A = this chain, B = another copy of it.
Amino acid sequence: MLIEDRLKELKEKINAKVPAGINVSEVEFEGPELVIYTDDPKKFADEADLIKVLARDLRKRIVVRPNVLEDPEIAATKIKAVVSEGAGITDMFFDPDTGEVLIEAEKPGVVIGKNGTTLRDITKEIGWTPKVVRTPPIESSTVKQTRQFLRAVKDERKAFLRSIGRRIHRDLTSKDKWVRVTTLGCCREVGRAAFLLSTPESKILIDCGDKPGSSDGFPYLYVPEIFPLKSLDAVVLTHAHLDHCALVPMLYKYGFEGPVYSTPATRDLAVMLQLDYLDVVANEVNQVPYSSKEVQEYIKRSITLNYGSVTDIAPDIKLTYHNAGHILGSAIAHFHIGDGQYNIAFTGDFNYGKTRLFGPATSQFPRLEAVFMESTYGGSEDNQPSKNDAESRLYEIVNETINRGGKIIIPAFAVGRSQEVMLALEEGMRLEKIPKVKVYLDGMIKEATAIHTTYPEYLNPDLRKQIFQEGMNPFLSECFVQVDSPKIREEVIGSDPCIIITTSGMLNGGPVMEYLYALAPYEKNTLIFVGYQADGTIGRRIQKGWKEVPMGRRETIVLNLQIETVDGFSGHSDRRQLMAYVNHLNPRPEKIFTIHGDEKNTIDLASSIYKRFRIETHSPKNLETYRML
């Protein structure tokens, strides 16, 4: 059926269900959603269950939008006129995709008004649907700039969403029914995650990362299964770590034109890390695989989805994200193919243990035939200490070092372990398990933390409760001090005993090198590794016992400081948790593919799962295609 006829039919069905007196002027696909344009958005909103009923009957995600949206600047002035100054409005974000205006205020209650009266007044005045959130306690420049950019390209983006909407809802053409997965990277190795899910109708790329510290660091994007990239329907990201998303902007350079799906938090973290990646690569090899122009292209074409929202992303594929417990916004991508014919979950990186920041990864799915599962700690020996043991050990080392007047350097990735360690240190000081010293944050850690405070809904319930109900946001503790100039860095180095959390996590560059250079000669100081150190990195060499570290043009650093490794802060499931996860998967899948681990670990995990659960397992190689259905 022609798409115009389909939209006409949908409009007729909607009109038949909408109460008399409510006008439906237009319906249109925009990205994965069906948008109903009306002159009466308020009346629509008053019919409590109407949208829910329409969504269920039409099997579409429904959005209602007023025909005319007030110009954002005028609307902003009107909002400020309605809301009392005491609300402390800090920002307003008009999202033309949704017809919503996000009002950030220090006192959200004042914007809402008694029983929502002020909010209703706003709706009447401006047509936009107001949503109110508490002003994030730390401002993220990434989030701000991304929102500004999206506002600037809103017309272009609207045209893009319409064309994607029509592409998603195109007719099925093939009489064949099959589902295949092609492995383009990340098999029997960690890094360059890239999996192609294909049917006779559609092609979806899951993740597109790099392989840090490797000469052949790109996924096999040149093979005919995926090239030309124009033939891809969509890219689906599991999370923002660079081994999963670094090369997404590059896809636009080589012909990709479609959308990139992710959670909102993943989008903002990915943009932050990609821009940093460009700086790092430019310094190292002078030849960058893409530029910030392609990062903008990515932002323009990103479509964000929250956990649990079932979304059409191709004529025969629905995507639902579920919590993966790994980092902020990390998700298990669940694909429902055809009319329930086949369901595949890609776990991305996931943690089946509860952490200070996140709940454990979801193991319950409506349907499930196959799972592609990470295996970083899939070896039979790869069990990690508990979080409690890890934190006790961390406290012990902090106490010893501070007591002898030393300083502590903790190298960490900007996203993930940094925040986990921050929360452990904050609680340690609050409960007087360690002395109250300054915790300096250098590198991208502050910005990453700001993005965490922008998306509190992704944190686990305990932490959310602590922040919102008890008003105690641990990230705002006065122990944390941002280092944002070389001058402050000098002061930190010359100051009293303290803790420094800084990038890069594996000591391959970044501000950590400055600290090491200044503090390594002194035995009283301590370097604590809290994360995995990959082969070939300076971090790994130091762990192995190297006592001297070459430092570019400078002389070598002689390491007299104490070297410690504290395991147990990992964002990955350890072996025990991986096996427990498979045990708890519901429903039990027919097939499990072990990926994202070295050869030994993926094979070990696959054979252990088969032996214990009698589920068919594979440890695929790169460049293979598996027939799922």
**Is the CB of A393 closer than 8 A to any CB of chain B?**
no
Contact of A231 among B224, B226, B621 (CB under 8 A): B224
Residue from A175, A621, A622 having most chain B Cβ neighbours under 10 A:
A621
Q: Any chain B CB within 8 A of the CB of A284?
A: no
Q: Find A225's partner among B176, B216, B225, B626 (CB 8 Å cutoff).
A: B225
Contact B224 A625 (CB under 8 A): no
Which residue of B175, B176, B182 contacts A625 across the interface (Cβ within 8 Å)?
Answer: B182
**A57 at interface (Cβ–Cβ under 8 A)?**
no
Asked whether A290 is an interface residue with its Cβ less than 8 Å from the other chain, the reply is: no
List, in ascending order, chain B residues with CB within 8 A of A175's CB: 216
Contacts of A182 in B (CB 8 A): 625
Output the nearest chain B residue to A215 by Cβ-Cβ distance: B175
List B contacts of A180 (CB < 8 A): 623-624
The yes or no answer to A554 lying at the interface (CB within 8 A) is: no
Size bracket of the A interface: 10 to 19
CA distance A623 to B178 in the complex (A): 9
Nearest CB of B to A227, in Å: 8
| Interface pair A624/B627, CB less than 8 Å apart | yes
- Count this chain's copies in the assembly: 2
In this complex, which of A176, A178, A220, A623 has the most chain B Cβ atoms within 10 angstroms of its Cβ? A623
- With most chain B CB atoms within 10 A of its CB, the pick from A175, A182, A226, A231 is A182
Interface positions of A from 199 to 229, Cβ below 8 Å from B? 216, 220, 224-226
Nearest-CB residue, chain B, relative to A626: B624
Q: Give the residue of B176, B226, B621, B627 whose beta carbon is less than 8 angstroms from that of A627.
A: B621
A175 vs B217: C-alpha distance when bound (angstroms): 13
Query: Hey, which chain B residues are within 8 Å of A625, CB to CB?
Result: 182, 225, 623-625
**Distance from A615 Cβ to chain B, minimum over Cβ atoms (Å):** 18
Beta-carbon contacts of A281-324 to B below 8 Å, as 1s and 0s?
00000000000000000000000000000000000000000000
Q: Complex formed: what's the CA distance from A626 to B175 in Å? A: 25
A113 to chain B, nearest CB (A): 57
For window 160-187 of chain A, which residues contact chain B by CB distance below 8 Å? Answer: 175-176, 178, 180, 182
Nearest CB of chain B from residue A219's CB, rounded to whole Å:
12
| Interface residues in A598-629 (C-beta closer than 8 Å to B) | 621-627
A200 to B, closest residue via Cβ: B222
Instruction: State the CA gap A216–B175 with chains docked (Å).
Output: 9
* Whole-angstrom distance between the Cβ of A222 and the nearest chain B Cβ: 8
For the A-B complex with A176-B216, A180-B624, A624-B624 known, give 9 more contacts whose Cβ atoms are closer than 8 Å. Answer: A175-B216, A178-B623, A224-B224, A224-B225, A225-B225, A621-B627, A624-B626, A624-B627, A625-B625
| 22 contacting pairs across A/B (C-beta < 8 A) | A175-B216, A176-B216, A176-B220, A178-B623, A180-B623, A180-B624, A182-B625, A224-B224, A224-B225, A224-B226, A224-B231, A225-B225, A225-B625, A621-B627, A622-B627, A623-B625, A623-B627, A624-B624, A624-B625, A624-B626, A624-B627, A625-B625
Q: Which 5 A-B pairs have the closest CB atoms?
A: A625-B625, A621-B627, A624-B627, A224-B224, A623-B627
